[in-house]
Amino acid sequence: MNDEARRAEVADLLRKCTDKKLLRGGTWSATEDAERAHELATAEPELPTPWPQLAAYRLAHLILRGAPTGDELMRADELLARASGDGKSGVGNPLGPLPLLYRLAVLHRLASEAPRPESQRARAELPKALDQARDAVLRRLAVDESQSGRRSAGYQRPQVQHGLFNMLELSTYFMGSTTQNLEGIGSVYEDLMLDSEQWRMVGTVPGIADIRMPRQLALVELDERGSAHPDAVLFRLGLAGAQWRVASKSEWRVMNADHARLLGCLLGTSGEWSTERLRAQVVGTDGEDPDARFRQVMARLKSAFRELTGRPDVELFVREPGHRIPRVSANLTIFGAVDRRTRLYGR
């Protein structure tokens, strides 16, 4: 199974193990899917962030729902430490504060219940873990505050009851009680209090999965893929505009949104494009001579791509016999994160 197939399988398993009917029917049946997802996400070479962290986070929750003690409680601590760990690209706490907060409950229990060597370790680690959780919460609050006045029209703030559920769940973990009364609640991303699942990854890698995910996780994965492919071109397209960069460089440049839409369409998994549909997705159908505007977008994207990469002879597009639509050259490595609410995925 190649990496893209593993990524798709992990995403599917995580959805299965957090399906409301499955959780309502019993935690143990969900744990098998979570174990498999974690095994696939962490097998060498590991999948890019955030998939190992997501799999560890979900498996830790399912273990904790069974009121674990001893080795299982220590395993939950290891999983939450992994879930709150940094990605290879240097992004800190890619899942946000929640894994750190839940780990406090586990460390608290280990400090009071575990045999002496493990209880001493947990007791010594609690102050550091509390500082990490506090810092992560403050960062999230600062980001929310800075963005509160300039949210895009389609943004959906997480509902209040999601946070209340988190705190109820946290309380049960501190008490060490079972959580049968919580079964049937939750989804794969919403309890992380991230944005709604509107973003997708696209790329030149064959078989890249068309998985919907929150903006924060899509951008983390984009950076992570870039750290593994320093010569790759990365781009991101949201409602507010587009940016791109060469992976080995830290600075994002403004990208023409029509260029990003064209690149996203050609790299996406929405099937074979007709000339008319592709043109409508990229430049729309209003205004004079959309065909000429579309040809202009293609020509300017090729020029801008050469300028960005510093490769004046690079060919971005190739034409194949029998295909009216050009294809992105398979000799290039390009990854993108796109918001499905842009024109790229329909109106």
Tens-place pLDDT, residues 173-216? 765 655 554 555 555 666 666 666 689 999 998 888 778 888 88
Residue 76 banded pLDDT, cuts 50, 70, 90: very high
Q: In which band, very low, low, confident or very high, does the pLDDT at 160 lie, cut at 50, 70 and 90?
A: very low
Select from 160, 192, 224 the last residue of a domain: 192
Could you say which of 165, 192, 219 is where a domain stops? 192
For residues 185 and 203, membership in a common domain is answered with: no
192 Cβ contact partners less than 8 Å away, ≥ 6 residues apart: 57, 95, 96, 98, 214
Tell me the CA distances in angstroms from 31 to 25, 42, 85, one per residue in order.
12, 16, 22
Examine the domain organization and report whether 259 and 334 are in the same domain: yes
pLDDT band for 119, please (50, 70, 90 cuts): very high
Which of 151, 177, 192 lies at the terminal end of a domain, its last residue? 192
Higher pLDDT: 25 or 296? It is: 296
Which pLDDT belongs to residue 294?
A: 87
Mean local confidence (pLDDT), 75-81: 96
Are 176 and 271 in the same domain?
no
| Same domain for 188 and 48 | yes
Task: State the chain's mean pLDDT as an integer.
Answer: 82
For the chain, the 3-state helix, strand and coil shares in percent, each to the nearest 5, are 55, 10, 35
- Residue 25's pLDDT is what? 59
Q: Is the pLDDT of residue 273 over 90?
A: no
Whether residues 213 and 300 fall in one domain? yes
Do 98 and 160 lie in one domain? The reply is yes
Q: Is residue 152 located within the same domain as residue 213? A: no
Q: What domain count does the chain have?
A: 2
- Residue 272 has φ and ψ, to the nearest 5°, of -70, 135
Cα–Cα distances (Å) from 119 to 186, 309, 344, in that order, read: 31, 53, 53
**Which two tokens mark 60?**
């830790």
Q: Do both 301 and 253 map to the same domain?
A: yes
More confident residue, 30 or 321: 30
Rounded-to-integer distance, Cα 271 and Cα 203, Å:
14
Residue 138 structural domain: 3-192
**Residue 258: pLDDT over 70:** yes
294 and 171 in a single domain? The answer is: no
Whether the predicted pLDDT of 143 surpasses 60: yes
Query: Are residues 11 and 107 both part of a single domain?
Result: yes
The reply to whether 186 and 235 lie within a common domain is no
3-class DSSP state of 242: strand
Do residues 216 and 168 both lie within one domain?
no
pLDDT of residue 109: 92
φ/ψ region of 72 (left if φ > 0, alpha if ψ in -120 to 50, else beta) reads alpha
Which has more pLDDT, 12 or 185?
Answer: 12
